[in-house]
Amino acid sequence: MKILLFGRLGETIGREIDFALPEGGCTVAALRAALARDHQGLAADKVRACIDHEIAPETALVLPGQEVAFLPPLSGG
Amino acid sequence: MVRLEPGELRPAEELERFIAGLAGDGAVVSFVGLARGADAAGEKVTGLFLDSYPGMTEKSLEAIAAAARERFAISAVQIVHRSGAVAPGAPIVFAAAAARHRRAAFEAADYLMDRLKTDAVFWKREQRLDGSAWIEPSEADRADRARWSD
């Protein structure tokens, strides 16, 4: 599964990172913890997870086929 | 109602098109935001880059436009927002509201901009002479947004 990154995260880590999602999915918290091992910037509280264009809580389940992104704080328009 | 514009934003054309689509309104208020040539500390900014999340950014603009429609007695709203590289002095956002009477149009345009400054899905990087920096909404932006909390 590709995880999308934007803003400062996209610039420092890359626009996309690959993640081997377990067959039954995993929580946002587990996904974040796994990715943060290599990319510490994703561990910050102010970096929000997003599933299919909706901000998702840490308890939300990430399932195969969904679009998942991590968003740094918005700058606004 | 909303558009993300990767190319040049031409406010006069946007306003003309918006007015041409109206029927029976008595007031239009529009706002044009320009990329500033200096940052909050007064340092020269040589360019701005607006990162966006295709799909989600448009959705955030639509939500802001829809909230304005619901909140004020207006008949139409238009938001056009730049993405990508924007030169200092160039238009970055066009926001307009149309109503039967002017008060609602003024208020709605003010509301649109306050919401856009904090809730629109954009990440802004300022290019300065000594490097670049990603920026976040200021306390003033948050205070402006809080004016409309219900």
The structural domains of chain B, ordered by start, are 2-146 (3.90.1170.40)
Neighbours of B107 (CB within 10 A): 19
Under 8 Å CB pairs connecting chains A and B tally to: 63
* Residue spans per domain, chain A: 2-57
How far apart CA B8 and CA B10 sit, in angstroms, is 6
User: What distance separates the 2 farthest-apart alpha carbons in chain B?
Assistant: 52
Cβ of A8 and B123 within 8 Å?
Answer: yes
Q: Taking the model in full, what pTM does it have?
A: 0.92
| B117–chain A nearest CA distance, Å | 4
Tens digits of residue pLDDT in B31-79: 999 999 998 888 899 999 999 999 999 999 999 999 999 999 999 999 9
Check residue B146 and give its pLDDT. 83
pLDDT of B134 > 80? The answer is yes
Which chain B residues contact residue A50 at CB under 8 A? 53, 56
| A16–chain B nearest CA distance, Å | 12
Cβ of A72 and B134 within 8 Å?
Answer: yes
Check residue B39 and give its pLDDT. 85
Which chain B residues contact residue A51 at CB under 8 A? none
Check residue A45 and give its pLDDT. 87
Q: Which residues contact B91 (CB under 8 A, 6 or more apart)?
A: B9, B10, B11, B32, B33, B34, B35, B82
Cβ of B122 and A73 within 8 Å?
Answer: no
Q: Which residue of A has its CA nearest to B126?
A: A75
Q: What is the ipTM of this complex?
A: 0.91
Tens digits of residue pLDDT in B74-103: 999 999 999 999 999 999 999 999 999 999
| B131–chain A nearest CA distance, Å | 14
Cβ of A76 and B51 within 8 Å?
Answer: no
- Please name which of A6, A5, A70, A75 lies closest in space to residue A32, comparing C-alpha atoms: A70
